[in-house]
């Protein structure tokens, strides 16, 4: 029963949040998991078919925000950068609140 309740809290069933640049060159897929936030970053070449994909899992907001600050997209696509920081930060804050609540509940 506890595991099914946790799955609902982390809303994996809702699907990922996708943030894309207007030209489609860069996109992010933000997916909450029971371990934190899974972020997939895809950057495509404007001319050609090459693409670069990075995937990372963040357990807390501080690590996620440091990663965002190091990404060059903040200069190239400031609106995309703002969106991923805001949306990813909100998902991680929800994860952190839920994880703390579960630990507090388990400690009783």
Domain boundaries of the chain, sorted by first residue: 2-100
* pLDDT for position 99: 72
Mean pLDDT of 63-81: 94
Q: Are 1 and 12 in contact (CB under 8 A)?
A: no
Could you give the dihedral angle defined by the CA atoms of residues 65, 91, 29 and 52, in that order, rounded to the nearest 10 degrees? Answer: 20
> What is the per-residue pLDDT across 34-60, written as a single tens digit (0 to 9) for each?
899 999 999 998 787 899 999 999 999
Q: Is the pLDDT of residue 104 over 80?
A: no
Classify 104 as helix, strand or coil.
Answer: helix
Instruction: Count Cβ atoms below 10 Å from residue 85 Cβ, excluding itself.
Output: 17
């Amino acid at each position: 029963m506890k595991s099914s309740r946790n799955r609902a809290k982390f809303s994996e069933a809702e699907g990922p949040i996708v943030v894309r640049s207007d030209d489609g060159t860069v996109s992010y897929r933000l997916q909450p998991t029971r371990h934190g936030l899974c972020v997939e970053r895809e950057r495509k070449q404007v001319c050609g078919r090459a693409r670069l994909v990075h995937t990372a899992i963040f357990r807390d907001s501080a690590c996620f925000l440091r990663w965002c600050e190091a990404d060059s997209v903040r200069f190239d696509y400031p609106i995309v950068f703002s969106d991923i920081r805001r949306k990813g930060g909100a998902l991680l804050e929800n994860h952190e609140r839920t994880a703390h609540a579960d630990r507090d509940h388990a400690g009783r």
